[in-house]
Amino acid sequence: MEKWLSVSEVMERSGLTESTARRYIRNHQRFLKVRKGKRKSYQIHESELDIIKQIRDWYGEGKGIDDVDELLQDQGITMTVTVNDGEKEVEQTVSEALSELKKSMDEQKEFNKKLLEELDKRDRYISEKLDKRDEQLMNVMNESMEAKKQIATAAEAESVHEEEQKDPEKKKSFFSRLFNK
């Protein structure tokens, strides 16, 4: 079973004062398994005592906050992120959170890829339908224009025929009409 220690228990086991223990927890909690207990008090996992003692030693050597963070990171101590999702707090290491994030991103990329494929497929379908419609429209327009030409030609031929029947002189050539022959 996991054992969580209060700040006073950490003080007893590490030889730190209460304010120093709280300062270490506050400054370096992303490298420690820390949770808020009852009445917002800190609780530290028992396995983190060695890290607290190491932090104490580094500060004793004159290191600053940034130096200690860098040393903790260099030693491979995993960062822990506490996520409050409303009802409960969930603790995860940064690598776990990044792994979940990467998985979600991969799923999103796959979804986007499928969506783009569907959009391309739909665009091709629409384009084909528009091309087919345009071709049919052009055929109908060409047929209509051809029919209009035929009607105009027939009407012109009929009007010429009617004029010839009304005026037989128009049948004669220009010279024969000119010289009345």
130: three-class secondary structure by DSSP:
helix
Average pLDDT estimate for 68-93: 68
* More confident: 143 or 73: 143
Res 95: pLDDT: 66
pLDDT > 90 in the chain, percent:
29
| C-beta of residue 91 within 8 angstroms of C-beta of residue 33 | yes
* More confident: 54 or 85: 54
Neighbours of 173 (CB within 10 A): 8
Res 125: pLDDT: 96
pLDDT in tens, 90-136: 666 666 777 888 999 999 999 999 999 999 999 999 999 999 999 99
Q: What is the CA radius of gyration of the chain?
A: 47
CA atoms within 13 A on the CB side of 141: 6
87: three-class secondary structure by DSSP:
coil
Res 62: pLDDT: 92
Mean pLDDT, the chain, rounded, equals 82
